[in-house]
Amino acid sequence: MMKRIYFAYALIAAIAVLALSAGCGTDAEGPVTRPFHESGWYSPQAGDTERYIDTLRNVSMIEIPYGIGHSSILKLGEIKGVRYTTLLMQFRYDSLANYEGMTVDSVILDLPVITVQDTLFHLGVTFNELLEGFSEDDTITSPPAYDPDPIQGANEETVRDISFERTEFSINKTIVQEWVDGTADPWPHGISINWAYVPDTLGLIEMYAQDYGTNPPFLNVLFDGGTEVILPVVSDYAITEDRITDLAAAGGTARRIYFEFDLDGVPELAALNYSALVFHTDGSSGLGATYGEMLVGTSTDFPYYLYTPDSSDPDDPGMLEGTGVSRSLIPVTIDAKIKIPLGQYMIDVLNGSRVNTVLVLQSDFEATRVQILAIFDTAAGDSIRPYIEIIYTMPTDFQGKR
């Protein structure tokens, strides 16, 4: 019995010697190397988790001349730096053929105003015959050519005053009488409604567009004897002028913001945990929806689209298109801190599989309606200026060797 126990101890000792001799080799790739004997056991230190802030090399705007034709609401006036300078209108005249030989008693242009930003606000305008056509599918940023002599009213007036109380305007009946008699053609391209002057205070007048589906602008022609005919607007367009002075992304005008950043401060071995584009909205300069738009159920949220462009050169068309990074909604009429997670995009940039060609933020309604997302720029205080935030962890440190 004692011999078996002795033999067992001898066998265990032999196995231990073999294991020790195998672990003490000079092969640097082995699991244990000479420092194991010279310095004792390794004392690995867990890698630190760090927060890196890039305050951005540049934050600037790209301005894209753009106009929106299709809309449920027409506007005249100015709000938040967007000036609605001109309304274009085309009418349907085919029903006039049924009234040949009749005498025109009066003609009224009816503008279906639904709201005025300030009920005391009013705007002097002229009605002018267009000399060039337009389409709601066009991107118009300036008025087409028009006859400089305004269309006169019943009393030969040329400047009309639009307000919440005044929305019907006479047209000199001899103009329409010539249409009925066949001695002149109806306005072939329609009319433009233009500011007669810049008012002392600015506001916004909103009215239904023909795209709304009901209650469009129209010409009301009244004949002797009480016969009445309606000539409705069949196409209309509100032309905007961009006078925004803040750093903003805007739909309809249109503006985009691009963010240039430098990640040289992030170590090469860093393991990314989280990244985000961070900025603060300036609610006083933001526009989610006008009051008239809210009355017809339009959302006040700003739908943004963040992408990495095909080019980092603002003058290159490649800046206007690229690969999407994020898309969501932002409230724009309150001061708020906004974080847009950058997810896989930043991982790809840091590991070198994607080139850093800046980030561009735009309205996802850019071709649909005017909205404004205003943010504080790099000159703002540290607490509200835009930045890139990265949280990363370094690998475990084995006494100076990772």
Q: Which residue from 227, 229, 253, 295 is spatially nearest to 73, judged by alpha carbons?
A: 295
Please report which confidence band the pLDDT of residue 396 belongs to, taking 50, 70 and 90 as the band edges: confident
Q: Are residues 291 and 157 in the same domain?
A: no
Is position 134 within any domain? yes
Cβ count within 10 A of residue 398 = 12
**CA atoms of 178 and 337, how far apart (whole Å):** 62
Instruction: Report the percent of the chain where pLDDT is more than 90.
Output: 74
Domain extent at residue 333: 49-63+254-393
Instruction: Please provide the average confidence, as pLDDT, over all residues in the chain.
Output: 88
Q: Are residues 170 and 232 in the same domain?
A: yes
pLDDT over 70 at 204, yes or no? yes
Tokens of 63: 């301005």
Mean of pLDDT values over 297-308: 95
Is position 44 within any domain? no
Among 208, 242, 276, identify where a domain stops: 242
Residue appearing with tokens 């896989």: 344
154: exposed, middle or buried (C-beta count within 10 Å: 0-12, 13-18, 19+)?
middle
Q: Are residues 208 and 354 in the same domain?
A: no
CA angle, residues 274, 277, 283, in degrees to nearest 5: 135
163-200 pLDDT, tens per residue? 988 999 999 999 999 999 999 999 999 999 999 999 88
Is position 208 within any domain? yes
**CA atoms of 63 and 222, how far apart (whole Å):** 47
Is position 402 within any domain? no
Among 218, 242, 266, identify where a domain stops: 242
Among 217, 242, 267, identify where a domain stops: 242
pLDDT over 80 at 19, yes or no? no
Mean of pLDDT values over 325-347: 96
Mean of pLDDT values over 100-113: 97
> Is 161 in contact with 124 (CB distance < 8 Å)?
yes
- 104 versus 213: which is more confidently predicted? 104
Q: Which residue from 319, 324, 364 is spatially nearest to 343, judged by alpha carbons?
A: 324
H-helix or E-strand spanning residue 385: none
pLDDT given for residue 254 in this prediction: 83
Amino acid identity for residue 84 in this structure: Y
Q: Are residues 116 and 183 in the same domain?
A: yes
Q: How many domains does the chain have?
A: 3
pLDDT over 90 at 350, yes or no? yes
Tokens of 343: 């997810």
Is position 80 within any domain? yes
pLDDT given for residue 372 in this prediction: 96
Cβ count within 10 A of residue 380 = 15
Q: Are residues 157 and 191 in the same domain?
A: yes
Phi, psi at 145, each rounded to 5°: -65, 140
CA distances 298 to 44, 208, 364, Å, are 59, 14, 15
Q: Is 44 helix (H, G, I), strand (E, B) or coil?
A: coil
Cα-Cα end-to-end distance for the chain: 53
Q: Are residues 93 and 26 in the same domain?
A: no
Is position 388 within any domain? yes
pLDDT over 60 at 3, yes or no? no
Q: Are residues 147 and 274 in the same domain?
A: no
Q: Are residues 181 and 324 in the same domain?
A: no
Please report which confidence band the pLDDT of residue 306 belongs to, taking 50, 70 and 90 as the band edges: very high
356-386 pLDDT, tens per residue? 999 999 999 998 899 999 999 999 988 999 9
CA distances 208 to 300, 384, 394, Å, are 19, 39, 60
Is position 77 within any domain? yes
CA angle, residues 58, 59, 64, in degrees to nearest 5: 125
pLDDT given for residue 174 in this prediction: 97
pLDDT over 70 at 226, yes or no? yes
Q: Are residues 91 and 229 in the same domain?
A: yes
> Is 53 in contact with 198 (CB distance < 8 Å)?
no
Q: Are residues 305 and 178 in the same domain?
A: no
Q: Are residues 141 and 191 in the same domain?
A: yes
Is position 337 within any domain? yes
Q: Which residue from 253, 254, 247, 389 is spatially nearest to 332, judged by alpha carbons?
A: 247
H-helix or E-strand spanning residue 225: none
Mean of pLDDT values over 67-94: 95
Q: Are residues 57 and 84 in the same domain?
A: no
Listed range (36-50, 63-77, 102-116, 318-332) with the worst mean pLDDT: 36-50
